[in-house]
Structure 1
Amino acid sequence: MPVSDPGQADVSLLAVAFAAGVGLFLGGVANTVLGRARPWARAAGSAVACSGAAVGVWAAAGSAASAAAGGGFAAVGLALAAPRRPGARWAVAGAAGLVLAVGAVVWHGAAEDADDDQAQAELLAAAQRPPTRPAPVPVFTDRGTRVGAWQATRPRSRAELAALEVRPADTPAVAPTAIRSYPADDRSNCHGWVFTRGRYWVSETDVDVILAENGYRAVPDPRPSDLAIYRADGVVTHTAVVRYVSPGMPVLVEGKWGPGPVYLHAADESGYGTDITYYRADRTGHVLAGLDSHPSADAPVGGQ
């Protein structure tokens, strides 16, 4: 059974209202200008306006029914303007058409903004860090500096994390080509997915310490297994692992988006911006000292 697309319905409604408004406006202008012309000339102008409205709707909405509606609404408006004292009526029709066209665009923009705001609010609410406690085992950099690691005390169920599974694809910040590798999981954030293999949360404030003390160095040309560190105004916002590098193609990275899913995506296509530095270290994997390198069977695999 076909499923209706609310977004497409909104576009069709916008196209009908906008094209009908433009048709009324053009028809009103044409007939005001041709007010003293022969009736056939005014009729031709009206026909062109209605046809233009229908064609415009067809092009925008891709629907014959919508096209007929757009042209029909314009025709009704023009017909109402045609009887006695046509000059004033045509002027009113043109003004009404202009108001209708502009109003349709304003309404559609406001509706889209409201939908985006709601989606972002739901995503932000779901993306909050869950209640945590210190990890049961201490973790360290290679130089012995202890790193804060936090264990989720009440991980949310799959149903509670459902918003994180469906909303990213509907928001402008997220690349439509991102491939989901692992489901949403409260046990770790992006940094913890890399440095603890998905066991714990790690603060962004510890990432630069880890980079410095585990021997990472910035590199201009990334290779698979290098780190991709995202920053905003110099502050670390995201950690991912380089997965694929091909000449002439975008660098593909894999990372966990907060408590949300793990995604494979082009490095410069995510909600974390494009301020990216790649890092490489002469060590095996990215897991912090104090943790074994083998995750539990059900943990999403990071840190390699």
Structure 2
Amino acid sequence: MSEPPVAPPTSDSPASDSATGPARVRLLGPAEVRTLAAELGVRPTKTLGQNFVHDANTVRRIVTAAGVGPDDTVLEVGPGLGSLTLALLDVVHDVVAVEIDPVLAQRLPQTVAERAESRVDRLAVVGADALRVRRDEIPGAPTALVANLPYNVAVPVLLHLLALIPTLRTALVMVQSEVADRLAAPPGSKTYGVPSVKAAYFGDVRRAGAVGRSVFWPVPQVESGLVRVDRHENPQWPMDETFRRTLFAVVDAAFAQRRKTLRAALAGWAGSAAMAETRLLEAGIDPSARGETLDAAAFVRLAQTTGAHGS
């Protein structure tokens, strides 16, 4: 997959070429990342899925792939030491950073003040777990999610935030490469499954590039990938929480036993195999089909059935 061309800045590259623009942002490089981590006594943990990006070119490319600009308020999850945060503040209006680690959350504003002084008032830090953060804890109306998500909770965090914040028009997340494949998989493919359908419920999903291991510290054992979600501007189905729960329950049931036909796989959800068949036919779906052949729209039709005319 081709990557967008980006000039390779160094850690102290200028953030703006505008002579009249605000003071320039200095990005973090490998030496700065290690020095900052040592100062804080931070040792990246597998529990929190911490792998810090230390390559300025990579964070620039992530911001470019996200397509964000001066009118955007970006929600960032797991800012860590601030590598991506600084690159975002170079381009967007505001950044709301959600960080679970209190040491990192407390240090981030200082890092921004040191390396992008004129932008520090554009940063808001929320000390919270992104999986459990509430809407009232997130200030403003973020328009884009841009994040290096912890690999062990990447999909639930992405889905939680898309559901929690309807003002998010786009999401650009870095996840484990295999997870990126599953999120962006089309119906009928081997990697198509629950994450694919649930992400497609919110918007159009596609791979947006690959990220090498060498740009992280510590170096992860897996490859990484970028996934972009563009929220449906005019969704053709309900987006409320009640319907979403109904839909996701159908999707979970359909893929719980991949080798079974939908008639059999959905028997528990519908009440019986016969009722499952009734609801599948009502939705215009072949009861002998399998879950991996259905797109998000078909699952929506199924979730909207009642089975009222079943035997």
TM over 0.5: no
Structure with larger Rg: 1
Q: TM-score, normalised by structure 2?
A: 0.30
Q: TM-score, normalised by structure 1?
A: 0.30
